[in-house]
Amino acid sequence: EPEVTQTPSHQVTQMGQEVILRCVPISNHLYFYWYRQILGQKVEFLVSFYNNEISEKSEIFDDQFSVERPDGSNFTLKIRSTKLEDSAMYFCASSQGVNYGYTFGSGTRLTVV
Amino acid sequence: GIQVEQSPPDLILQEGANSTLRCNFSDSVNNLQWFHQNPWGQLINLFYIPSGTKQNGRLSATTVATERYSLLYISSSQTTDSGVYFCAVDTYSGAGSYQLTFGKGTKLSVIP
């Protein structure tokens, strides 16, 4: 079964550093998403991406965050200057579109120290 | 935005017991998915079920879209069923965009 692949699985970074989380969505999917889950809490929407541009973003997705699909296969989330409260599990997801389900990657656990 | 309520928040079962998890949502949805989050944090898709009933082994799910709820049944539970079960609904958020909204989950612990 096709998978969404995320790297790295774990990342520890110092406060103020930039991090890039990487995702390879399923190849024939058109819609891409980032979600995050702070430890012990529910999964929250960050941003959706379609046709090489952001479709929608949540209040969490402020100017410190950016997404990119640099080469037609990778989908990245960049956090420019990490804060302690950015520590969370970040999930990438992709979908073929409306009336299809979402497939989630295994997540990147980001710890900001 | 849409509200997704899951119950119970916590559930402890003896191995072999059956259980029903419930998901209520406050508005019409395009689709609904059930996920199992394992102890390693991975979100495993269980069912994509906008309406009707589906079965997969010991698990089954029913969504009654007109009454805005979905049920997940676990029969003959095993310790490997432990984890958090999330319901997530797919709604149109405007400007051609859809997004999943998750409930807070049901934490299931199956004890031997």
Mean predicted lDDT score pLDDT of chain B: 94
Q: Judge: A101–B97 Cβ closer than 8 Å, yes or no.
A: no
For every residue of B16-82, DSSP letters joined together read T--EEEEEEESS--SEEEEEEE-TT--EEEEEE-SSEEEEETTEEEEEEGGGTEEEEEE-S--GGG-
Which among A45, A48, A104 is the nearest to B43, CB-wise? Answer: A104
Distance from the B59 Cα atom to the nearest Cα atom in chain A, whole angstroms = 18
Residue B108: DSSP 8-state: E
Cβ atoms of B71 and B21 within 8 Å: the answer is: yes
Compute the average pLDDT of residues B84-99: 86
Q: Judge: A55–B102 Cβ closer than 8 Å, yes or no.
A: no
Which among B41, B95, B105 is the nearest to A42, CB-wise? Answer: B105
Distance from the A13 Cα atom to the nearest Cα atom in chain B, whole angstroms = 20
Share of chain B above pLDDT 90, in %: 86
Cβ-Cβ contacts under 8 Å, A48 against chain B:
97-99
A49 touches chain B (CB under 8 A): no
CB atoms within 10 A of CB A50: 17
Residue-wise pLDDT tens for chain A (113 aa)? 789 999 999 999 999 999 999 999 999 899 999 999 999 899 999 999 998 899 999 999 999 999 999 887 899 999 999 999 999 999 999 999 877 889 999 999 999 99
Q: What is the Cα–Cα distance from A108 to A12, expressed in whole angstroms?
A: 10
B87-B89-B95 Cα angle (round to 5): 155
Q: Judge: A98–B30 Cβ closer than 8 Å, yes or no.
A: yes
With bands split at pLDDT 50, 70 and 90, how would you rate the model's confidence at B107? very high
Which among A37, A44, A48 is the nearest to B97, CB-wise? Answer: A48
Residue range A69-88, pLDDT digits in tens = 988 789 999 999 999 999 99
